[in-house]
Amino acid sequence: MSPGTGTTRTAEATTDGATAARGAGRSSVAGGGAPRATVLYDAPGPRARRRTLVGSIAATLVILGLLALVVRRLADAGQLSAERWGPLLDPSTEEFPQVWRLLGLGLRSTLTAAALAIVGSMVLGTLIGVARMMLPGRTRWPLVGFIELLRGLPVVIAIYFTSRVLPDVGVDVSGLPGADGLWYLVIALVAYNMVVIAEIVRSGVASLPRGQREAALSVGLTPGQTMRIVLLSQAFRVMLPALISQLVVILKDTSLAAVLGIYPELLNRANRIAQNLDNPIPMFITVGIIFIAINAALSRVAVVVERRVSRSTAHR
């Protein structure tokens, strides 16, 4: 062994030992309760942790102060009085049963419109997304233009178009079941959300490894069978969170019908009740809580479905 080789190996051993010592020291610090450093995150020191704690306390106090100011202003304006909240919270008042009966009818109308729009958007969106992926070359350009046109259209304009323009051109949906304006709202929501879901489907399929499609074609499946049996079944598991988020958007967008007053959904009925009882703030707070509860339940269902799908996939 030459002297140069021995010197080099000694230097390498010294370097490795120093690195191991630093790693052991860092592990012992982490084990003692300090934040652990990672590749993307440097563990803050005592001074940084102290500044973070002070900033968090200050921000919390500011938010609590603003909330207290808002509550005080509402109390001064009489919006927190029993007279304003009684029709919503006190069963002994004369208006209580009537108010909740009307809100229940509005909630049923909202859920009906949302359910119809969700089904239509899912079916048509999947078909449009698959068509965009399977059409060759330039033949898909008109479809891409159609998708981009509807994606850039505000939902309120779509609702106005369906409720005002479609009757003028002879499209009559009065013979269909449901309240007045239901199908105009559903058509508008489907027209907008189906192209959004089509893009979610396309991105979900595009995120899969290319080998999935190649393997399916190599065993004799047609492109249509490959898309239906192999790709879509896996893509739906990937895009489930995005789909659930879009379903929540559809549910909330039903309230846009109240802007035009074409359909007696929840917000529309709440607005009418608030005008009669002169309690808009309590009424809209209640409606907001209802929407939050429904969306939270929908998100929870999505989490449960995703866990079950992942568990069933792992057992195969």
Are 242 and 207 in contact by the 8 Å Cβ rule? The answer is no
75-84: long-range contacts at Cβ-Cβ below 8 A with a sequence spacing of 24 or more?
79/279, 79/281, 79/282, 84/277, 84/278, 84/279, 84/281, 84/282
pLDDT 10s digits, 117-162: 999 999 999 999 999 988 887 888 888 898 889 888 899 999 998 8
- For 159-176, write each residue's pLDDT tens digit: 998 888 888 888 878 778
Q: Residues 217-232: pLDDT tens digits?
A: 888 888 888 888 888 8
The answer on pLDDT for 28 being more than 60 is no
Residue pLDDT, tens place only, 54-67: 999 999 999 999 99
Pairwise CA distance, residues 107 & 101, whole Å: 10
| Structure tokens belonging to residue 84 | 């304003």
Tell me the C-alpha distance between 262 and 265, whole Å: 9
pLDDT band of 196, cuts 50, 70, 90: very high
Q: Among 135, 263, 277, which residue's Cα sits nearest to residue 187? A: 263
